[in-house]
Amino acid sequence: MQQHLIQVSFDEYQDINALNVGDANLLHAAREAIDLSYAPYSRFQVGAAARLINGIILKGSNQENASFPAGLCAERVLLSICSSLYPGLPIIDMAISYNNQLGVSNKPISPCGVCRQSLSEFENRVNHSIRLILGGTQGKVFIIDRATDLLPLAFSSADMK
């Protein structure tokens, strides 16, 4: 038997004011995208903003549905927007923020498992990592260098060959 260790590292900032201007602007855009959310069931609004390699910033938000499996997370909405409007163009970084209408929104949240898989697939497809900036509407901010760091041992197209 051989044992392996998987570790994830990330940078933690006290709040948005500790970020560089570009990161702060992208997180502000994600916070603005929260207002585009349709979340009448969970009351948990999520906004995401992506900066493409050409400098364009696009926004997406979660879209719920009374048939719960039919809803979409903000990250997957945003990936669809990016790949539809700018096919094949890498995303440099993505900021994700949220507003929990039933509680507080003062700590970073991380993408769900399906979004982690989708982010990993997008990175593989365009052959470029996506840096993640995670924060609520206030409080600490986490920065993760590569979205794939959140999904070690991911299933990918290489596994299907």
Do 130 and 146 touch, CB atoms closer than 8 A? yes
**Which pair of structure tokens corresponds to residue 92?**
């440099």
75 has catalytic annotation: yes
**Using CA atoms, how far apart are residues 38 and 55, in angstroms rounded to an integer?**
27
Residue 97, CA distances (Å) to 5, 84, 89, 119 in order: 30, 23, 23, 16
Q: How far apart are the C-alpha atoms of 98 and 136, rounded to whole Å?
A: 5
Catalytic residue among 12, 32, 64, 75: 75
The catalytic residue positions are 75
